[in-house]
Structure 1
Amino acid sequence: MRENRGMVMARHWYSSVPVVDGLPLLGEPGFWAAHLVDLYEGEPPEAFGVDAGDAGAMLDRLQDKSAWPMFTVPLEGGFSIVVHYNSGEEYTTTDYFLVSPGGADVVLASPDEDRIGPGLCWPELVAILRAPDGADGVTDPHARLLLLLPALGDSRVPEEAVGAVVEALIANGAPDECEALARQLLAGHPMWGAQPWSFDTDERSWICDSELSHRQSPLGDHLPPAERAALADCLNPGTVTGA
């Protein structure tokens, strides 16, 4: 089993690179086709209701080495999921961090050479679609769903998930006939695919049965009880049981 790096200060070096706020990009043509490009191999960008040229131009912007987009998805308790585009010398990856109010980070997913993922199961993703009242960042439920889809990898995604993704796609310009695209987007990132998860009722945390995932152990299993509970609750607000 690979070592679980757990809670790490993995984003500190971003302070020395050209990070920019990605929020204004969400409404621009081609964004979702570009952001989700790794998940829909074989489908044309037009499946999102956009021109292939717009999708290509947006992909160039997301991979710009001089401006790395960052998106903040606010959660309960002052936590957030931060999505960073990381454009190195050789390639661009999209890194997903669960960030605590104190600034410590959990690496949820990263399709770099280490292949860290999946970082979320479907019950967690659907539980955090609603942003906390008054929060800043990515607050629209449809945008939150689509933005976090690459970190998902769940072999027990329910049928209603397809409808949720279809609704999010249509709300962002896709044609009504996009069910096939939605199913493909839910199949998991090609780096890790769909994996089995189970809910540990004692730890109040979802556990992923994959050697590539940092979610093999309960979230914050090394933290004091109060901090561990807060960390678990931010991905499962108001719930203590799983399917």
Structure 2
Amino acid sequence: MLIKGYDDGPLVAGEPLMTRPGFWSNHLMGMCDDGAGHPVPEWFGDDGADADALSEVLFDPGHWPVFRVPAAEGPGVVVVYRNQPGDYGIDYLLTPPGRSSTEQLTDWEGDLAENGLTWHELVRIADTPVHEAEGAADPAARLLLVLPLLNDLDLPAAAPARLGAALAAAGSPQDTVTHTAESLLAHLMGRSRHDADWASPLSGGY
């Protein structure tokens, strides 16, 4: 697998990891906020052993998992686990339509930079898979993959239910899924907001 700017990285297709126990807790648990700071893998239907075992695969410096989220309408996203010793991060790359290149949108090293996408843009990406292309095709998984990019000044009322449905589809228990969705959104919406002149990276068109 080749991605411009990652010539020295041992990139591998990450999509097969999404169905393994422990994946979603590794990908999302660090963004949870339950008011006490104690999220657990069980929120995502995992247990601690699953999460630990999968983390050894996800964060292996010898393999950098790549998760592709191509979109039929507008730009898609590529998520790269950049397991560079001393320079670890999760990079989120924008893939303009009709182009094979990617453009870095933001990265997450404990928290995301201020770049991000609106909820409606995330839903558009989630709901418009390119079935003939390589990458994640399930809308629920696609939404969860790109969820860390959420940076919206006006989150719609339907967002928690949509996120909860995606989490449930990915294995989160029904009795805690609402709390998990609310905890994720509480963290994401707690980020510093853009000023009134902020425009989404997608708003300029490609």
Is the TM value for this pair above 0.5? yes
Q: TM-score, normalised by structure 1?
A: 0.71
Q: Does 1:67 align with 2:66?
A: no
**What's 1:110 paired with?**
107
Q: Which of 124, 139, 142 is 1:141 aligned to?
A: 139
Seq. identity, %: 35
Query: Which whole-Å CA distance do the structure 2 matches of 1:176 and 1:114 have between them?
Result: 28
Q: TM-score, normalised by structure 2?
A: 0.83
Query: Which whole-Å CA distance do the structure 1 matches of 2:148 and 2:54 have between them?
Result: 17
Confirm or deny: 8 A CA contact 1:39 1:188 kept in the other structure: yes
The Cα of 1:183 is off from its aligned counterpart by 1.2
TM-superposition CA deviations, 1:122-172 (whole Å, max 9, x none): 010112222135333111000001101111122421221111111111111
Write the letter of the residue equivalent to 2:147.
L
TM-superposition CA deviations, 1:22-70 (whole Å, max 9, x none): 0100100010000113201421111111111111221221111000000
Query: Which whole-Å CA distance do the structure 2 matches of 1:120 and 1:22 have between them?
Result: 22
Query: Which whole-Å CA distance do the structure 1 matches of 2:22 and 2:192 have between them?
Result: 26
**What's 2:47 paired with?**
51
Write the letter of the residue equivalent to 2:41.
P
Aligned pairs (5 A) from 1:30-179: 30-40=22-32, 41-76=37-72, 79-90=75-86, 92-100=88-96, 101-112=98-109, 116-130=113-127, 131-177=129-175, 178-179=177-178
The Cα of 1:111 is off from its aligned counterpart by 1.9
Query: Which whole-Å CA distance do the structure 1 matches of 2:117 and 2:157 have between them?
Result: 17
RMSD (CA atoms) = 2.8
Query: Which whole-Å CA distance do the structure 2 matches of 1:39 and 1:114 have between them?
Result: 8
Query: Which whole-Å CA distance do the structure 2 matches of 1:187 and 1:91 have between them?
Result: 28
TM-superposition CA deviations, 1:65-113 (whole Å, max 9, x none): 0000001101126843111000122253111111233334332220249
Secondary structure at 1:159's aligned position in 2?
coil
Secondary structure at 1:124's aligned position in 2?
helix
Q: Which runs of 5 or more structure 2 residues have no equivalent in the other structure?
A: none
**What's 1:186 paired with?**
185
Write the letter of the residue equivalent to 1:171.
A
Write the letter of the residue equivalent to 1:146.
L
Write the letter of the residue equivalent to 2:30.
D
- Which protein is bigger by CA-based radius of gyration? 1
Confirm or deny: 8 A CA contact 1:154 1:197 kept in the other structure: no
Query: Which whole-Å CA distance do the structure 2 matches of 1:134 and 1:218 have between them?
Result: 26
**What's 1:239 paired with?**
none
Q: Which of 7, 12, 18 is 2:10 aligned to?
A: 18
